Structure 1
Amino acid sequence: MKFIVWLIRVLVFVLLLVLAIANTQPATLNFFAGYAWTASLILIGLAFFIVGLLAGLVFAVPAMLRLRMENGRLKRELRVARETPVVKEEPPMPPLI
């Protein structure tokens, strides 16, 4: 199964590499206030991919930190629960008549 996963990864990499090599013509990206950026199309795509990746990481970090803190709290609670002795209560005796 690992071989198939690696084969798919290599095929996707080769496909993206061929796509990148085929799209080397210059493209102009127009921003607000008359600013323009001229670069190859694949470089613009790579820049947007990196910006999206960084934005995703920035928005995921608070949730990851919150989950790590909760995980630590739950581990401490479990350790305390394991260390406290279990008191086994006897059921009440039936009334003697």
Structure 2
Amino acid sequence: MKYLLWLLKAAIFFTLFAFALNNQQDATVHFFFGTQWRAPLVLVVLAAFTLGLVVGVLGMVPRWWRHRSAAKRPVMASTAAPTPPSSNPPATATGTASSDPIHGI
């Protein structure tokens, strides 16, 4: 299995290397206000890929922080003092307390 993974990595590398060799022509990227950037096409594609990757990661950061803080909350709640048991009446045969309303009917 290890050799199969190395073979797959080598195939991906040589495919990308052949792509880079076949796309060495100059490409011009036109920006606003008449500015332009001339570079080999493979660098333009690599820059566009990198920029998309950065934008995607930055778009995920707020949700990632939210999930991370939500994952820490139960840990902090478990370290707090335990709450005393409530004085609810015992559950009936249906699994609900006798004073609780029945929902979903």
**Taking structure 1 as the reference length, what is the TM-score of the superposition?**
0.71
Q: Who is 2:22 aligned against?
A: 22
3-state DSSP class of the match of 1:24? coil
Report the alpha carbon displacement of residue 10 of structure 1 after superposing the two structures with TM. 2.7
3-state DSSP class of the match of 2:28? strand
Q: Which runs of 5+ in 1 are unaligned?
A: 93-97
The one-letter amino acid paired with 2:20 is A
2-structure distance, mates of 1:56, 1:63: 12
2:44 equivalent to 1:44: yes
Change (3 A) 1:76 1:20: same
The one-letter amino acid paired with 1:51 is L
Identity of aligned residues (%): 35
1-structure distance, mates of 2:2, 2:83: 46
| Deviation per residue, 1:36-55 (Å, 9 max, x gap) | 11100001111111111111
Aligned residue pair count: 88
Q: Which runs of 5+ in 2 are unaligned?
A: 91-105
1:1-97 alignment, distance < 5 Å? 1=1, 3-79=3-79, 84=82
For CA contacts below 8 A with separation 6 or more, give which structure has more relative contact order. Answer: 1
Report the alpha carbon displacement of residue 72 of structure 1 after superposing the two structures with TM. 0.3
| Deviation per residue, 1:44-77 (Å, 9 max, x gap) | 1111111111111111111111111000002233
Report the alpha carbon displacement of residue 2 of structure 1 after superposing the two structures with TM. 5.2
| Deviation per residue, 1:2-53 (Å, 9 max, x gap) | 5444433331222111101111111111122211111000011111111111
**Taking structure 2 as the reference length, what is the TM-score of the superposition?**
0.66
